[in-house]
C-alpha cells in the first residue's frame, strides 16, 4: 500500500498553479501535502490535511474525486490523473492514530451543535480548537448523521467514524448527547436559557420525497433513506425495483445486492443517470440493470407500472400515453432525494424557512434569529459531504465572530 502510494505521489508534477486544488471545494493544498510526504514529513502532511478538513479521512473515501481534484489534474487530459484520493486516505488514516492532543484552553463560552452530520462535526471541531465548550445534540444513538446512516459500510466503514469520535470529539472534550432530539423534551430556548451563546443547526434532510402515486403505501414499498439507515431490518425478496438514479439510489441498489437480492432494476425518468460515473459503473459491474425514460405511474402488489417519457417543448419530462407496462418486483424502493423535517422550526420562534422547507440563511449561515446558525443539507438540500464541509468552515468563522462580539457579561 505505502509503495503504491509513493509511486502515485511521484507522478505529481507539483504544478505552480495546481488545478487539482482549484477543483477541490475546500481547496486542499494537494501539491504541498504530496511533497511533504515525499520528503519524509508524513506527520506534517497529515496535520495539514486535518487542519484544512477535519473530515479528511471521510472525504478521501466518499468524495466525487472524478469531478473535483482528480478531474482537474492536468495529467488527466492525456492519461490517468494522480489519484489523490488514495494518497489522502493513506496519509490521513496513518496520521489519525497519532492524534492525541487534548482540548484547547477553554474560553468559557458554550456552543450547541444540533446534528452530527458533516457540517455539525466540522463546526464542532473548528470551534473546539478555538477553546469553545462544545456540546453536540444528536437524535440518533451514534454520531455521523448521513455519514453513518446514509452511506453504506462498503463505501465508508463505520470504524472511520468511530475513530473520528475518539480522536476529534473525546480527546477535545466535545460533549455528545445521543438520542436527544431538539424540539422534543428540549427546545432551542432551553439551550439559550442554559448559557449557550450560539446554536448551530445541521439536522440534514431525512424526510423522503414521495412520488404521490397510487400504491405508495403498500407493504412492500420502502424509501431509500430509510433502507440505508438499517438495511438488515428489511426483507426485500429476490427481485427489487429502485426508483431513482442518483448517488443515493446507487447506494441502495448496491447494498440490496449485498444483502441477497438477486435481480435489481433501477429506473430513471430521464435518458441518463444523475449519479457520478464511478458509482454508476460500479452498480453496472455488480449487476444492476438500468432502464431510462421511464416514469412510475402506479405501484401494485406484483410490481410497478411505468410509462415511457419524453421531453416536451418547455423542456419538462412528460409521460407518453399508451406506453404503460408492468415490471414485476417483490419490493420497491423509492430513492428520489429527501427534504427536511421541521421539528426544530415548528417549535421555535423566529427561524424562517424557504418554500422548500429549508432553513433560510445568509452566505455565512446566519438564520433570521440572532445567535442561531445553520448549514449543510438542511439549508442547501442534499449535497455532497465535501460541499457541506466547505460551507461549514465559513459558518464556523461567522459563529466565532458573532460570539466574540457579544458583551462579556451577555
Would residue 37 count as lying in a domain?
yes
Going residue by residue through the chain, which has 410 residues, state the pLDDT in tens, using 9 for 90 and above.
Answer: 556 899 999 999 999 999 999 999 999 999 999 999 999 999 999 999 999 999 999 999 999 898 899 999 999 999 999 999 999 999 999 999 888 777 899 999 999 999 999 999 999 999 999 999 999 999 999 999 999 999 999 999 999 999 888 888 988 899 999 999 998 889 999 999 999 999 999 988 878 889 999 999 999 999 999 999 999 999 999 999 999 999 999 999 999 999 999 999 999 999 999 998 989 999 999 999 999 999 999 999 999 999 999 988 888 899 999 999 999 999 999 999 887 776 687 778 888 888 888 899 999 999 999 999 999 888 888 788 999 999 999 999 999 999 999 987 65
Q: CB count, 10 Å around CB of 323?
A: 15
For residue 338, what pLDDT is reported? 81
Q: Is the dihedral of CA 252, 257, 259, 263 positive or negative?
A: positive
Residues 16 and 78 in one domain: yes
Q: Which residues contact 182 (CB under 8 A, 6 or more apart)?
A: 114, 137, 139, 188, 191, 343, 344
| E strand spans, 251-334 | 263-267, 289-291, 294-300, 303-311, 317-319, 325-328, 331-334
CATH number of the domain that 274 lies in? 3.50.50.60
Residues 369 and 383 in one domain: yes
For residue 115, what pLDDT is reported? 94
Would residue 101 count as lying in a domain?
no
Residues 45 and 126 in one domain: no
Would residue 167 count as lying in a domain?
yes
Would residue 398 count as lying in a domain?
yes
CATH number of the domain that 45 lies in? 1.10.1060.10
Secondary element (H or E) of residue 242? strand 239-243
Would residue 34 count as lying in a domain?
yes
DSSP letter at 282? Answer: H
Q: Please, what is the Cα angle at 54 between 178 and 184, to 5 degrees?
A: 25
Residues 319 and 401 in one domain: no
For residue 240, what pLDDT is reported? 98
Q: Note whether 269 and 275 are within 8 A (CB).
A: no
Question: Number of structural domains, the chain?
Answer: 3
Residues 246 and 298 in one domain: yes
For residue 410, what pLDDT is reported? 59
Quote the domain boundaries for residue 246.
Answer: 210-336
Residues 53 and 170 in one domain: no
Instruction: Tell me which of 289, 306, 336 is where a domain ends.
Output: 336
Q: Please, what is the Cα angle at 129 between 126 and 130, to 5 degrees?
A: 95
Q: For 141-176, give the DSSP string.
A: SSTTTHHHHTS-TTTS-HHHHHHHIIIIIITTT-EE
Give me the residue label for grid cell 482540548: 103
Residues 190 and 236 in one domain: no
Would residue 296 count as lying in a domain?
yes
Residues 314 and 344 in one domain: no
Residues 325 and 233 in one domain: yes
pTM above 0.85, yes or no: yes
Would residue 410 count as lying in a domain?
no
Residues 301 and 216 in one domain: yes
The dihedral over CA atoms of 254, 67, 161, 41, expressed in degrees to the nearest 10, equals: 140
Residues 50 and 62 in one domain: yes
Residues 218 and 331 in one domain: yes
Beta bridge mates, 360:
none
Would residue 103 count as lying in a domain?
no
Distances (CA, A) of 351 to 205, 343, 386: 17, 12, 26
Cell numbers representing residue 22 in the block? 482549484
Amino acid at each position: 500500500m505505502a509503495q503504491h502510494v509513493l509511486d502515485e505521489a511521484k507522478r505529481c508534477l507539483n504544478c505552480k498553479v495546481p488545478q487539482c486544488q482549484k477543483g477541490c471545494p475546500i481547496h486542499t493544498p494537494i501539491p504541498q501535502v504530496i511533497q511533504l510526504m515525499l520528503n519524509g514529513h508524513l506527520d506534517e502532511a497529515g496535520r495539514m490535511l486535518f487542519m484544512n478538513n477535519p473530515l479528511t479521512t471521510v472525504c478521501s473515501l466518499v468524495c466525487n474525486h472524478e469531478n473535483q481534484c482528480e478531474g482537474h489534474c492536468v495529467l488527466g487530459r492525456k492519461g490517468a490523473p494522480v489519484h489523490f484520493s488514495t494518497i489522502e486516505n493513506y496519509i490521513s488514516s496513518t496520521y489519525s492514530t497519532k492524534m492525541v492532543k487534548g482540548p484547547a484552553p477553554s474560553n468559557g463560552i458554550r456552543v450547541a451543535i444540533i446534528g452530527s452530520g458533516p457540517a455539525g462535526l466540522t463546526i464542532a471541531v473548528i470551534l473546539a480548537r478555538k477553546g469553545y465548550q462544545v456540546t453536540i445534540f444528536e437524535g440518533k444513538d451514534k454520531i455521523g448523521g448521513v455519514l453513518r446512516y446514509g452511506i453504506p459500510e462498503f463505501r465508508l466503514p463505520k470504524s472511520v467514524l468511530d475513530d473520528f469520535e475518539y480522536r476529534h470529539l473525546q480527546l477535545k472534550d466535545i460533549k455528545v448527547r445521543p438520542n436527544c432530539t431538539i424540539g422534543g423534551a428540549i427546545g432551542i430556548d432551553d439551550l439559550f436559557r442554559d448559557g449557550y451563546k450560539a446554536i448551530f443547526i445541521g439536522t440534514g434532510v431525512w424526510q423522503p420525497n414521495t412520488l404521490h402515486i397510487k400504491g405508495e403505501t403498500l407493504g412492500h414499498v420502502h424509501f431509500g433513506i430509510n433502507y440505508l439507515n438499517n438495511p438488515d431490518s428489511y426483507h426485500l425478496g429476490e427481485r427489487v425495483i429502485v426508483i431513482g438514479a442518483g448517488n443515493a439510489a446507487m447506494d441502495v441498489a448496491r447494498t440490496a445486492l449485498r444483502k441477497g437480492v438477486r435481480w435489481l432494476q433501477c429506473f430513471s425518468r430521464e435518458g441518463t443517470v444523475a449519479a457520478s460515473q464511478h458509482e454508476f459503473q460500479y452498480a453496472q459491474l455488480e449487476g444492476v440493470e438500468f432502464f431510462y425514460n421511464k416514469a412510475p405511474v402506479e405501484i401494485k402488489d406484483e410490481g410497478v407500472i411505468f410509462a415511457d417519457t419524453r421531453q416536451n417543448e418547455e423542456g419538462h419530462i412528460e409521460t407518453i400515453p399508451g406506453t404503460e407496462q408492468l415490471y414485476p418486483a417483490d419490493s420497491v424502493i423509492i430513492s428520489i432525494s429527501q427534504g427536511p423535517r421541521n421539528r426544530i422550526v415548528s417549535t421555535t420562534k423566529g427561524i424562517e424557512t424557504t418554500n422548500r422547507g429549508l432553513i433560510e440563511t445568509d452566505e455565512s449561515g446566519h438564520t433570521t434569529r440572532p445567535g442561531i446558525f445553520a448549514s449543510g443539507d438542511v439549508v442547501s438540500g442534499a449535497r455532497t459531504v465535501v460541499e457541506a464541509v466547505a460551507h461549514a468552515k465559513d459558518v464556523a468563522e461567522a459563529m466565532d465572530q458573532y460570539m466574540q462580539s457579544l458583551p462579556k457579561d451577555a
